[in-house]
Amino acid sequence: MRISILTIFPDFVRVVKEYGVVSQAVENGILEIEIFNLRDFAKDKHKTVDDYPYGGGPGMVMKPAPFFEFFKFYNETYGKPYVVLTSPQGDVLNNSIARELASKDHLLIICGRYEGIDERVMKFVDREISIGDYVLTGGELPAMVIVDVVSRFVPGVVDEESVKNDSFYNDLLDHPHYTRPRVIEDMRVPEVLISGNHEEVELWRRKESLKKTMLKRPDLFMKHQFDEIDKRALLSLFRELMADAK
Ligand code: 4FV
């Protein structure tokens, strides 16, 4: 998969491909991540990318011309990508949107700055994505979040099992995790996790996921598709509750 990022701060975003599983995926050739500096497509000697807003008001707006220059070059050189603009007006990112983006073989992410981008640039944009209902100083962090979450859905980047156990994979929050030592400050690892009984472990983890999801994200719980293990987990939870209620 090819992911390109267009920004006025290339050094800021470059780190997203220099650490962890994303950097390994780049080394293994599974991911190609390329960063472009919008200023390289501003034709004036000051490489200007912003200007005053028509109609007045605070702040500056990103000029359309450097983007038009960039797309002329980019589409000729790399072919037409699926273009994502990171902005507060976008669809709020979640796992299913990330999975959808990961199905594209060629993504280009545009990072806004200032008050925003001249509206005429939207002719190049296939999708606007927001990472949440708040206003950032720039679209670079959202672009890095998108690279990170999308890369996990690209086959070969992370082990399938790990993705299957993800929070939100099946609209459930994740179960608690434990590792050595067995006891720390009198806090013990739940016995079932050291029992070696994989069925009991799986049931315990699903019960914990269901409990946490019902408590913290009932909206997700209502979306969750129940399977056999869920039913056994809920029965067991119910029996425990009834026992505690006695
Ligand atoms: C944002 C978000 C975001 C708005 C003006 C960049 C800033 C500045 N992008 N999710 N929330 N962008 O706040 O994606 O240009």
Give the residue, by CA position, lying nearest to ligand 1 atom 9. 87
Q: Say how far apart CA 214 and CA 112 lie, in whole Å.
A: 37
Q: Say how far apart CA 156 and CA 169 lie, in whole Å.
A: 17
Distance 87 CA to ligand 1 centre (A): 4
What are 134-162's pLDDT values in tens digits? 999 999 999 999 999 999 999 999 987 77
Give residue 55's pLDDT: 97
- Does residue 4 have its Cβ closer than 6 Å to ligand 1? no
The structure's pTM equals 0.93
131 appears as a binding residue in the annotation:
yes
CATH fold of 2-161: Alpha/beta knot (3.40.1280)
What are 155-174's pLDDT values in tens digits? 999 987 777 777 777 889 99
112 appears as a binding residue in the annotation:
yes
Tell me the CA distances in angstroms from 155 to 110, 152, 166, one per residue in order.
Answer: 24, 8, 15
Catalytic residue among 88, 128, 202, 230: 88
Q: Say how far apart CA 41 and CA 34 lie, in whole Å.
A: 16
Determine which of 11-20, 130-139, 153-162, 227-236 has the lowest per-residue pLDDT on average: 153-162
Model confidence at 181: pLDDT above 90: yes
What are 54-73's pLDDT values in tens digits? 999 999 999 999 999 999 99
- Does residue 114 have its Cβ closer than 6 Å to ligand 1? yes
Give residue 171's pLDDT: 86
What are 209-219's pLDDT values in tens digits? 999 999 999 99
CATH fold of 183-245: Trp Operon Repressor; Chain A (1.10.1270)
Contacts of 103 (CB under 8 A, 6+ apart): none
Distance 7 CA to ligand 1 centre (A): 13
Distance 114 CA to ligand 1 centre (A): 9
Would you list the domain boundaries of the chain? 2-161, 183-245
Under the banding of pLDDT at 50, 70 and 90, the label for residue 184 is: very high
